[in-house]
Amino acid sequence: MTRTLLAFFGVVSAAALAAAWGPMGDAHAPRALAAAAPLPFYYDLYTFRNDDRTTSVVAAVAVPVEGLQRERVDSRFRYRFDVRFVLADTVERVVSRSLDSVYVSMSRPLSGEHLLHTFVEIDAPPSDGTVQRIVVTDATRPGVGQLHQSPFPIPDYAGDELMLSDMAFGLPGATSGWSRHGHHVALLPTSQFPESAFDVYYEIYNLPTGRPYETEIEIERLDGRANDAGAVGARFSGESQAGPDGTLAELRRVESSLPVGRYRVSVTVTDRATGRVASSTRPIEVRGWSGGMTMLPAMTRVREAGRP
């Protein structure tokens, strides 16, 4: 599965934030956003199959510290932001949404280039008519924030054919963060990679337990810089250890750091007993982030789904 997320964005006022959090109405209609201070942020959405025929949509969100107001509290330095995440099925008129708060308290101030990243997750029904909306606001300064919105078809992972979920990416060696099927991933947006090793998480569907299979991971540079070696990759073979729900979760480590640039990561799974093949592809961008990164939990304040 290949997903390209095209979003438009705008600076949002307090009134616009309230409208973004409320029922979406006609999600394709243009919005007039009043001028206010922007809060740049980065994000990606990843999708996975659930048992109840819904799809889990996970948003990896990253905010550079330089955009946040720093607070001094009891000789410590605190940074706070809120994340509003909305999925609206414009055909069935079903809206799923969450409101989460994120903060960190440090003994010393963080550099402006430091990246704070978190994740939020919503379960939603599969639909080709879904629109996604994410609003990130500075919790310290009312009216400071930014909105991203775009069509976002939510895939249906039902059926018995061999399938792959989206690929999710994160910093290596995570012991906390997004957790699924016994794995922890310090999720990152695909446009904000450091020059370091990283983890790739994906799920294989409908590969029966005990079935021999092969996985190939390939990383190809896209910006065509001179002296690049081209595509690199690795192959893994084994027998499926899928759970009762038919899901086989894999977490792979890319040990070598990648130089700054744009890449395409591809995962291909082959059922060696039947010859069936499934693949997933996603672009990533390595930027470096010498200022460092900190994974933070998001504290849920509101989570609901229904018709507006």
CATH number at residue 231: 2.60.40.3880
Tell me the torsion sign for CA atoms 119, 204, 279, 125: negative
Q: pLDDT-derived band of residue 37, with 50, 70 and 90 as boundaries?
A: confident
The more confident residue out of 123 and 291 is: 123
> Rounded to an integer, what distance in angstroms lies between the CA atom of residue 245 and that of residue 167?
19
In a domain, residue 16? The reply is yes
Query: Cα–chain-centroid distance for residue 160?
Result: 26
Q: pLDDT-derived band of residue 26, with 50, 70 and 90 as boundaries?
A: very low
In a domain, residue 196? The reply is yes
> Rounded to an integer, what distance in angstroms lies between the CA atom of residue 279 and that of residue 215?
10
Q: What is the pTM of this model?
A: 0.86
Q: Would you say 23 and 95 are in contact if contact means Cβ atoms under 8 Å apart?
A: yes
Closest CA to 59 of 15, 7, 112, 22: 7
Domain count, the chain: 1
pLDDT at residue 225, rounded to an integer? 62
> Rounded to an integer, what distance in angstroms lies between the CA atom of residue 164 and that of residue 268?
9
User: What amino acid is encoded at 303 in this protein?
Assistant: R
pLDDT at residue 168, rounded to an integer? 95
* Average pLDDT, rounded, for the chain: 86
C-beta neighbour count of 89 within 10 angstroms? 21
In a domain, residue 1? The reply is no
Question: Which residue bears the tokens 């500075």?
Answer: 138
Q: What is the arithmetic mean of pLDDT over 71-97? A: 94
Phi/psi at 67 (5° precision): -90, -10
The H or E element containing residue 140 is: none
Q: pLDDT-derived band of residue 175, with 50, 70 and 90 as boundaries?
A: confident
Could you tell me the residue range of the domain that residue 234 belongs to?
Answer: 8-306
In a domain, residue 3? The reply is no
> Rounded to an integer, what distance in angstroms lies between the CA atom of residue 101 and that of residue 30?
27
